[in-house]
Amino acid sequence: MATRNFDRAREYLSLDAGSEWSNNVAVAILVREGKKQEALAALKLLPDSPFFHTRAVEACYSFPRPPGAQELLEKTGAAIEAFHDPEPQFGIGSLFSSCLGNAFTGRVVKSAIQGGFCGYDYIQSDSALAEFRKSPEYADILAEAKQCKARFLAGRENASSSIHPAASADGTAAHNVEPHEDLAEESAPQVGQIVEP
């Protein structure tokens, strides 16, 4: 969804159509597309999900807000800030940016980054974060996300180079790695090979 390729996202959701996950993510897509009335109509048909905070999302985008909405949103905000998994903390938390404000959004995004979900591309393009991008803390948090992404890419490159050593200046391998015998057995089935019983 970071690239705003919502049609592609819906194709992916169709692989798990009707599940709690696909139903709630489909609503998040509608919100991010600016189709809030469609999102509200879909939310009314869904059972509450304590993970996705379905009723709180409904309260957030309802105008006027239903009775008890503020208390529900505050409890939801606290629950999202307590998430231990940074990816849903970021994704679900960003849906509440418009009703819980920039201070909440800044805390959630910063926590997700510190937890390892860099979100650099999402922060810049997620329509749910449009108001947050106007906030004073946005530039610092974006810089933190950029550093997180750079660390991730450097770590991935280091891991890759330890598996596939880089060539030295003269074109020879930096060090010799012998293939493991078990992996090179000819009797092992190959990808795509049909194995007769």
Reported as a single tens digit per residue, the pLDDT across 17-73 is 889 889 999 999 999 999 999 999 999 999 999 999 999 999 999 999 999 999 999
The pLDDT confidence band at residue 161, using thresholds 50, 70 and 90, is: confident
* Residue 197 reports pLDDT greater than 60: no
Q: Which two tokens stand for residue 43?
A: 């939310």
Higher-pLDDT residue of 168, 161: 161
pLDDT in tens, 70-110: 999 999 999 999 999 999 999 999 999 999 999 999 999 99
The pLDDT confidence band at residue 3, using thresholds 50, 70 and 90, is: low
* Residue 192 reports pLDDT greater than 60: no
pTM of the model: 0.75
Burial class (CB in 10 A: 0-12, 13-18, 19+), 81: middle
For residues 84 and 116, is the Cβ–Cβ distance under 8 A? no
For 172-186, b/e burial (b = at least 16 CB within 10 A) is eeeeeeeeeeeeeee
* Residue 182 reports pLDDT greater than 70: no
* Residue 195 reports pLDDT greater than 90: no
* Residue 186 reports pLDDT greater than 60: no
Question: DSSP 3-state assignment of 54?
Answer: helix
Burial class (CB in 10 A: 0-12, 13-18, 19+), 69: middle
Q: How far apart are CA 82 and CA 99, in angstroms?
A: 18
- pLDDT, position 93: 94
The pLDDT confidence band at residue 171, using thresholds 50, 70 and 90, is: very low
Q: Which residues contact 111 (CB under 8 A, 6 or more apart)?
A: 81, 86, 89
pLDDT in tens, 100-147: 999 999 999 999 999 999 999 999 999 999 999 999 999 999 999 999
- pLDDT, position 143: 98
Q: Which two tokens stand for residue 55?
A: 């009723």
